[in-house]
Structure 1
Amino acid sequence: MLHLDANVISKKDLLELTGISYGQLYRWKRKNLIPEEWFIRRATFTGQETFFPREQILARIDKILNMKDDLSLDELADMFSPSMSGTSLTAEELLARNIVSTTSLEVFNVFLGSLRTFTFQQALYAYVLEKLLAAGDLSVDEGGGLLQVLASHYPKFEGKPCELIFMRKMGISTFVLVSSSTEMYFDSGVKVVKRLDLANCIEELKGKYL
């Protein structure tokens, strides 16, 4: 039943839990602070209701409430936007800003080529690689598979929210990119090593650009 689905939260519960108003929620939606894809319409016994991906929406509202006194809604929208086209950093700048380590940079160079400058999207791939390597979730050998999936498939989302799922079965690693609102189920032999919301990674990375 829907109320047992821990991955989503109803609009009513969201407003009660966060203390925000209906008007604030939809103003933030109009300002693109909250993605359209997070407003999930589902049939219930009372009719159609709106639900949200629980972790993403609670984290986003927490950030908006903590930052709205220092930044305008338009500035917040720019921060949450997945697009930073036209921005680039050199490999040395990525290292200096702690976006990558020499290890992750070397892995990137092997699988995606040695670059003089990195676009924001390429820097995102390197940053995700660095996060998983630094956490001990990913081996250097597995890094190539991660980068190839990101480079081949992330552009297809065209800026829409998506999630990276890293899993292993019988020692074999697999990487999947899915829409943030997609529900996925795996057989008991699959171990989900990590799920990363790439929108959160983008926000973290933008903070290192400032």
Structure 2
Amino acid sequence: MEPNLISKKDLLEEKGISYGQLYRWKRKQLIPEEWFIRKSTFTGQETFFPRDLILARIDKIMNMKDDLSLDELADKLSPVLPDYEMRKSDLEKRNIVSSIVLQRFAAEDDGALVYTFDKLLYFYVVDKLLQAGEMSMEEGDRLLATLREHFPKFAGKACDLVFTRKMGVSSFALLSAPSELYFESGVKVVARISMTECIEQLKGKWV
């Protein structure tokens, strides 16, 4: 078995959950359909999952299920963008993204301008990489352009942002998650960010 996958049988044993729970969570869209990977084995067809993603997701569900209904959990964990909006002035007051990002990328926007959730998400992701010291402002310009052009194409499906650099030249890509990605020699993966996790984090800042 591939080291980055875990079988359904091993998953149920490791996390102490039942078959019924797993598929109930699937029906409620707490676990994405694309994480259920069917593979041929010597015993026939078996179901596998991306190990790191499914283990982290089940831990999250188990930790939150006593405080939220399954429907509330589904809304919280879903990669579908909510209909949230926020004025630029409120964005500054609540410090959802840094003033540096707003000064650089939204300086010409009036304080009364209302941002939709997707626009806030793009600022949030750029801010995340800038705060980590992994990206220059010029690269931030290109990342923002990449997100604006390509993120809407995923239409509510889980995806990752991959930030690479080779010989000082940076590149950004968005790809469906989960997926494996291999690069030529000399390419450094600066960051790989789950856009779904960023959506969840940003939703949490509305509370």
Moved more, 131-140 or 95-104: 95-104
Gaps of 5+ in 2: none
Q: Give the structure 1 partner of residue 160 of structure 2.
A: 163
Three-state SS of the structure 2 residue aligned to 1:32 is coil
Kindly tell me the number of residue pairs found equivalent between the two proteins.
205
Return the offset for 1:99: 1.8
Return the offset for 1:44: 2.1
Q: What CA deviation, in whole Å up to 9, does each residue of 1:7-36 have, x standing for no partner?
A: 222212211221111110000000011111
Distance 2:94 2:9 in 1: 41
Three-state SS of the structure 1 residue aligned to 2:144 is helix
Q: Give the structure 2 partner of residue 47 of structure 1.
A: 44
Q: Give the structure 2 partner of residue 96 of structure 1.
A: 93
Q: What CA deviation, in whole Å up to 9, does each residue of 1:153-185 have, x standing for no partner?
A: 110000000001000011111001000022111
Q: What CA deviation, in whole Å up to 9, does each residue of 1:36-73 have, x standing for no partner?
A: 11111122222222111222211111111011001000
1:132 is the counterpart of 2:129: yes
Distance 1:103 1:55 in 2: 33
Equivalent residue runs for 1:1-210 within 5 Å: 3=1, 5-109=2-106, 114=109, 116-210=113-207
Contact 1:85 1:119 survives alignment (8 Å):
no
Given the two structures, how large is their TM-score scaled by the length of structure 2? 0.93
Three-state SS of the structure 1 residue aligned to 2:205 is helix
Contact 1:142 1:173 survives alignment (8 Å):
yes
Distance 1:119 1:158 in 2: 15
Given the two structures, how large is their TM-score scaled by the length of structure 1? 0.92
Distance 1:48 1:149 in 2: 39
Three-state SS of the structure 1 residue aligned to 2:151 is helix
Stretches (4+) displaced over 3 A:
none
Distance 1:105 1:198 in 2: 20
User: Identical aligned pairs, as a percentage?
Assistant: 60
Distance 1:59 1:98 in 2: 27
Return the offset for 1:84: 4.0
